[in-house]
Structure 1
């Protein structure tokens, strides 16, 4: 998902990914500076952040030139990253998921460890955990800790007298009232299939609240989505919303930025999403960031209501980066783990959650959705997403959730298929018991 990831962003631009090798093999770009390439995803809001960070870094590091390279999101982007690492053609420094997808790119074999760098001590411990392998740290954070749940339109909630739901029954009652008013209750954007996973993945806090040992049992092949009622519920809720007719009419062709625009303008009441989407709302619907609130995925027990958290993606240096380029790449990586780097990211676009660097502070004027997320975190009503507790995440989930959300496959059949997808991933990772 990472969405990244988590980990995982998508946008309306499709920018071709250029080869790092096309920039030339010399460290010097002809101006006497060391030239490095930074690879990140092609979401417009993300590109804006990258450009802002590069400009801020250049102002403090006049001996380095950073060139921006972009790649697609989703499985296409995953494959591109793996291919470029395998061929030694990776950019000098790159952004990619933390957690399970980070483990899948074989960091010990492909990445440069940075455990001894001074800035590593400033990292949030939970982030440090998800960019480490065999006691070595490999990444600095890219943007913020985020939460998965539901974006909602605040003016619509005020107009209709709706309350933020803490149970699934209350959420469905709100959807019924929205539909009666002629408003799309829940936006879906299956043209960019990664977005279809959010409703299932963001339900993990409810799974953990009901079955605290699920992650370990799941990793050890002792629990399945299809046979664990709390885990199956995420697929069932996706199916239930489709059957109730609560999707937007164009859900099969709608795109991520269109989903953000729909909930920000009140065309839709809700949009299941991770709060990194806050950074893209200004691009999708200028001036409407303040109209979007956030709440955690409702479950069955209001007393246990809480949010599922995603750690930021990481900034990594491949082992193919050497010499002066390696030194320059480390400077860039360290900048992103500093207050100046955090400030540059916050200045470029609204932040989607707290920073994963202990020395960084959130701006006072953060978006309402970020304040809503922070309230859950401050209350301790939060759980890490499953992909940060287990190395297993099947790559076909987004295709399966599209099918369940489209009525092509039942919730039970989708969960069973995902269990098979997970089995393949676990076997590839060489996990015991699989």
Structure 2
């Protein structure tokens, strides 16, 4: 019976990022391919049937696939330079939970599956939760096929190179009809459990959040020969946006605004940029406040661009409303887990996408530092083990498992 940390140790060398630190594992790249092979091998070793759906999501079934199934799992991809647990802990814990159920002689009376969703982080193609969004039909498959990564490779091309066909992308009613309940375990991305002295929590909600790209266009020129008064430098309004985002979010309770990526073109040290792209991530507990914050920042960006003789183009790349997880399922799991606390989160998840289609829930494993999306992300091995035990109890309960 494997523990989550023993399983994670098997993939500890996959996708190590020597430049950023941590891990860079992106959909359809070599590291992600190795992780998918690892999961397939682990699932088949447990006698599970494994298949890949039309949206590149992996499914492993304990017993025959069927309706009203209980599904668990997470993702294996990462942000650039991410931690070891964000995503993989949920997958490893799912396998460990199944090991525990079998060791204890539990036989599910409902179908049980583990899934691995593709491109949850959006680390390669910019849109988070692509696999679950496609499955649920909340994103246009034609748009997804046209997405490009930072090197210019298109999603469709990358999918074909991985041996999969992009022609079948889109809502999968057959797969959706099988999911009766979905439960995702995840490392906590915050410090809500530290003061509660509990290793595991149940999720209550996810903040409304989205990503916007601001493209500032000016005039490229020579850094040494162009007088300051003659410049149309897009780096100035782009920099103003970064500062304005921090200041504006600080004035809205519970809001977060982050400029995590800025790309000047052509990017030379002695060159006035011709364009600067800034990606802005904005979140808050309420949809209208999030939208209002982005509107205010957009007005600031346009004004600062005009001051510099530049223009700005603003594109919404993704959006997710506030998610309130199924209250009955949440309360049920809280009871099963002996009064585990309920916590909101500012991080998006595949469970949040599926929550609009089927009763969904999340379990969080304590993170003593609260750091995530960085190499310092951490959870104690004992807490990870407790998370797998909690997930096993939840799965036994939801599948109405019988003990032999």
Superposition TM-score, scaled by structure 2 size: 0.29
Superposition TM-score, scaled by structure 1 size: 0.27
Greater fraction of residues in helix: 1
Greater fraction of residues in strand: 2
